[in-house]
């Protein structure tokens, strides 16, 4: 592949795929080395170059030296410092070694596995900070649409735009793989805004949708009452809170009593006979009669509900110990200006900023509707692009509509 030559790609193949960069030392006693990863090098502390430092594990890289650049690489664990050099929108990580290296020494930075993986696929995104810088260059200044604007105003509207886009346009879905514990509750993720889907994973790795339940709910307040039904107060005049009996009963409930599902031997000749299922003297009495049941409840994947007060997902008892995948969306602002936007939606973000600034100014509010239309058109195009519909996939779906499934 081509080497970086001044375009948007700064990393060579070794940096991108292996997370490594090697610099040759041409002059003796060299101490300063500049590394051009897209990933910002991070030290846990000023002394975490030493493996004995408690913050060493927080470093996202290691330094190695070699006399020939082929083998005999040894980790550099003596003193060095890390600083950053800003070059436009690019940041270069500068390592200054405490001891100068002999001429001919090869100095290698190796990113840790997590840092390497975080960089994969990064070219399809543009950082919010770059969106802000590009907008100011392209739209703000003399003889441009916006003569002047405070950078803080652009940052505000950019953040608001990213929030709105994240909900129904960008669909930046995050996911976590978790195991349902014995208490049947999982804490809502730190950057959670709304769930997309919850599924449990079977032994083949196949997902099965877990449905939200309307059969129960988690009460926000559970005040302790006296015999007359009035809430009891503590020494600070606040209501005494007890545990939720609703949650306790739901967690202890047998879902089969709701779904009517009772596993049995399908080879049993009595399976479909009335005596087996219907009569009180049968093997299961009246259990299992699904006639008249609500189809919403006639499923065996389990249920969940959200406890807003405790900030947890609560699950039905049949999901205890199961592996689940929680898919959810955030607002894109959990990590400040390092938030990323798909390049397919870049133009929509510029149009959003233009309309938002124009509509909040007295001298341009009257012409803002035309920029609103441009924003709408750009946002629609972004949605179409991000829908990622391919012609071959549409053809496959259409073919399947006329295909019989035979046993």
Least confident of 47-51, 117-121, 280-284, 329-333: 280-284
Angle at alpha carbon of residue 120, lines to 96 and 1, rounded to 5°: 85
pLDDT (0 to 100) of residue 114:
87
What is the overall mean pLDDT for the chain?
85
* Cβ neighbour number for residue 60 with a 10 Å cutoff: 19
Residue 219 CA to residue 387 CA, distance in Å, equals 38
Confidence of residue 13 (pLDDT cuts 50, 70, 90): very high
Residue 127 CA to residue 29 CA, distance in Å, equals 38
Q: Are 233 and 223 in contact (CB under 8 A)?
A: no
CB proximity list for 6: less than 8 A, separation 6 or greater: none
Residue 312 CA to residue 306 CA, distance in Å, equals 6
Q: Where are the domains of the chain?
A: 13-120, 124-171+333-397, 185-225+232-255+301-329, 256-299
pLDDT (0 to 100) of residue 311:
92
**One-character DSSP codes across 247-305:** HHHHHH--THHHH------TT-TTTTSHHHHTSTTSSSTTTT--TT--TTT--SS-EEE
Alpha-carbon distances of 307 from 188, 211, 222, 313, 323, rounded to whole Å: 9, 15, 13, 6, 20
Signed CA dihedral, 338, 339, 344, 350: sign only: negative
Alpha-carbon distances of 336 from 92, 169, 331, rounded to whole Å: 20, 20, 11
pLDDT (0 to 100) of residue 290:
59
* Cβ neighbour number for residue 1 with a 10 Å cutoff: 7
Signed CA dihedral, 215, 221, 222, 223: sign only: negative
Q: How many residues are listed for the chain in this entry?
A: 407
Q: Is the pLDDT of residue 262 over 50?
A: yes
Q: What is the Cα gyration radius of the chain? A: 30
* Mean predicted confidence (pLDDT) in 133-138: 93
CB proximity list for 110: less than 8 A, separation 6 or greater: 19, 20, 61, 62, 63, 64
Instruction: Look up residue 123 and give its two tokens.
Output: 């070219």
The secondary structure of residue 183, as a DSSP letter, is: T
DSSP reduced 3-state for 177: strand
pLDDT in tens, 376-392: 999 999 998 888 777 77
Mode of pairing for the β-strands spanning 323-329 and 173-179: antiparallel
pLDDT in tens, 64-90: 999 988 878 999 999 999 999 987 777
Distance between alpha carbon 367 and the CA centroid of its chain, in Å? Answer: 38
Q: Are 202 and 374 in contact (CB under 8 A)?
A: no
Instruction: Look up residue 348 and give its two tokens.
Output: 């929509």
Instruction: Look up residue 121 and give its two tokens.
Output: 């696929």
């Amino acid at each position: 592949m081509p080497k970086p030559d001044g375009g948007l790609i700064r990393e060579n193949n070794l940096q991108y795929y292996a997370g490594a960069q090697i610099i040759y030392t041409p002059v003796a006693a060299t101490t300063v080395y500049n590394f051009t990863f897209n990933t910002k090098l991070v030290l846990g502390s000023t002394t975490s170059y030493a493996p004995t430092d408690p913050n060493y594990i927080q470093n996202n890289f290691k330094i190695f030296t070699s006399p020939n650049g082929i083998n005999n690489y040894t980790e550099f664990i003596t003193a060095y410092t890390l600083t950053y050099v800003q070059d436009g929108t690019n940041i270069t990580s500068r390592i200054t070694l405490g001891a100068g290296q002999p001429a001919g020494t090869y100095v290698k930075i190796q990113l840790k596995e997590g840092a390497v993986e975080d960089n994969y696929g990064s070219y399809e995104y543009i950082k919010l900070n770059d969106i802000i810088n590009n907008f100011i260059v392209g739209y703000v200044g003399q003889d441009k649409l916006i003569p002047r604007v405070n950078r803080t105003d652009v940052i505000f509207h950019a953040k608001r735009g990213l929030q709105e886009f994240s909900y129904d346009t960008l669909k930046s879905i995050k996911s976590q793989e978790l195991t349902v514990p014995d208490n049947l509750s999982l804490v809502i993720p730190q950057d959670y805004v709304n769930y997309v889907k919850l599924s449990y994973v079977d032994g083949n790795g196949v997902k099965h949708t877990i449905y939200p339940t309307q059969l129960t709910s988690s009460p926000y307040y559970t005040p302790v009452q006296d015999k007359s039904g009035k809430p009891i107060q503590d020494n600070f005049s606040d209501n005494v809170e007890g545990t939720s009996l609703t949650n306790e009963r739901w967690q202890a409930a047998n879902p089969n009593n709701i779904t009517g599902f009772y596993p049995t031997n399908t080879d049993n000749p009595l399976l479909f006979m009335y005596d087996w299922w219907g009569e009180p003297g049968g093997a299961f009495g009246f259990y299992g009669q699904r006639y008249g049941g609500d189809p919403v409840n006639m499923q065996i994947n389990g249920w969940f509900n959200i406890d807003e007060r405790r900030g947890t997902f609560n699950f039905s008892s049949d999901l205890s110990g199961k592996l689940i995948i929680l898919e959810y969306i955030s607002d894109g602002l959990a990590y400040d200006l390092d938030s990323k936007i798909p390049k397919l939606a870049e133009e929509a973000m510029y149009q959003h900023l233009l309309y938002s600034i124009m509509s909040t100014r007295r001298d341009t509010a009257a012409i803002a509707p035309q920029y609103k239309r441009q924003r709408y058109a750009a946002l629609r195009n972004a949605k179409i692009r991000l829908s990622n519909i391919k012609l071959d996939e549409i053809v496959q779906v259409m073919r399947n509509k006329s295909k019989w499934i035979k046993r």
